[in-house]
Amino acid sequence: MKAKEIRKVACIGAGTIGSSWAAYFLVKGLNVTIQDVNGELIGNSEKRILGFLKSMAEKGIIPMESIASLQNNLTSTTSIAEAVKDVDFIQESTLEKYEIKKGVIEEIDSSARNDIVLSSSSSGLLASKLQEYSRYPGRLVVGHPFNPPHIIPLVEIIKGNADEDAVQCAYDFYKEIGKVPIIINKEVPGHVANRIQAALWRESIDLVMNGVCSVKDVDAAVAFGPGLRWALMGPNMIFNLGGGPGGIEAFFGQFKPAFESWWKDMATWNEFPEGSKEALKEGLKEEMGDRDMQEIAEWRDDKLINLLKILKYV
Ligand SMILES: NC(=O)c1ccc[n+]([C@@H]2O[C@H](COP(=O)([O-])OP(=O)(O)OC[C@H]3O[C@@H](n4cnc5c(N)ncnc54)[C@H](O)[C@@H]3O)[C@@H](O)[C@H]2O)c1
């Protein structure tokens, strides 16, 4: 299957992630079938998808008038067999449990064409283990999105033991529809982006627990400093530029001892320190001030869309 030939997509499991994927696929002009275990969950998903489409229209990403025609490209079913029959790509987003995904993969295998990619949204399950459940392990990849997939561009493609053709097809397809796919050659717990987030979070918590600064100020240090650059490029390119005309070579020359001394002093724990949750709760109260969660989330989403517009990702 060539990525350019993909017209019909099945979203198996239509919860938070499946519904968001479905809205994104619709916006990209694809025919989408959502599947979930009962009519009520499907109804909820249809409402969520409509909500996502409306919010994208309100933010000027799609015309408001296009919503009805996009909805016409959406079908739903409680049957996996029916959902995957004749589709060109499958995005699986059922519950994050091996035993559930096993049953789902087996059902998909008995009804879907075997020349198409089955991509699992799994945040933490091993691709190689999911592949063991499949009659066609070579066509299964993990295509891990960031929530919400109808907005955030990154998709981590974890190969496990997938065929190169399937990996390439998933990569080309996600790219074709405007995502930023990355390929993870070797499976590791947490894939790549979540590991990086976890490393940063550990140090942030440690700074708070050691009394170095407040929760509010740690967050400010990230959001108003390096975080602004991270929206544009990753740490390697940032430090390449940081070295001036000499690039990363010059950066190593100047900063290697400093980074090594910081690393020696940094947190290495792998269990949350006693009292850390309480400290974060207290600090977050101060950071939130008189704003409530909804207000902060709406502010975040609004600014995020504006940023993605500037970067031309929506
Ligand atoms: N929530 C996130 O932030 C996030 C981010 C990236 C990836 N993911 C991954 O996406 C997947 C789904 O997560 P979610 O947050 O949408 O969960 P969710 O609970 O919101 O949705 C899962 C859906 O799967 C359905 N389901 C359960 N068993 C099923 C079956 N046998 N057949 C079909 N559907 C079935 C459930 O009814 C539910 O609607 C997980 O693998 C998760 O790791 C989640």
Q: Which atom of ligand 1 is nearest the CA belonging to 124? A: 43
β partners of residue 180: 154
CB 215 within 8 A of CB 284: yes
One domain for residues 166 and 210: no
One domain for residues 205 and 65: no
**Residue 24: what residue type?**
Y
Q: Which atom of ligand 1 is nearest the CA belonging to 120? A: 41
Q: At what angle do helices 276-288 and 215-223 cross, to 10 degrees?
A: 70
Of 158, 184, 210, the residue at which a domain comes to its end is: 184
CATH of the domain at 210: 1.10.1040.10
CATH of the domain at 131: 3.40.50.720
Of 184, 212, 228, the residue at which a domain comes to its end is: 184
One domain for residues 218 and 143: no
Q: Provide φ and ψ at 104, rounded to 5°.
A: -65, -45
Please give all residues whose beta carbon lies within 6 A of any atom in ligand 1, as ranges: 12-18, 35-37, 41, 93-96, 100, 103-104, 121-123, 144-145, 147
β partners of residue 305: none
> What phi-psi label fits residue 89: left (phi over 0), alpha (psi between -120 and 50 degrees) or beta?
beta
Of all protein residues, whose CA lies closest to atom 42 belonging to ligand 1? 122
Q: How far is the CA of 18 from the centre of ligand 1 (A)?
A: 7
pTM confidence score = 0.95
CA dist 66 and 64 (Å) reads 5
pLDDT of residue 314: 86
Q: Provide φ and ψ at 7, rounded to 5°.
A: -120, -30
Domain that holds residue 263: 193-310
Per-residue pLDDT tens listing for the chain (314 residues): 799 999 999 999 999 999 999 999 999 999 999 999 999 999 999 999 999 999 999 999 999 999 999 999 999 999 999 999 999 999 999 999 999 999 999 999 999 999 999 999 999 999 999 999 999 999 999 999 999 999 999 999 999 999 999 999 999 999 999 999 999 999 999 999 999 999 999 999 999 999 999 999 999 999 999 999 999 999 999 999 999 999 999 999 999 999 999 999 999 999 999 999 999 999 999 999 999 999 999 999 889 999 999 999 88
Of 137, 166, 184, the residue at which a domain comes to its end is: 184
Number of domains in the chain: 2
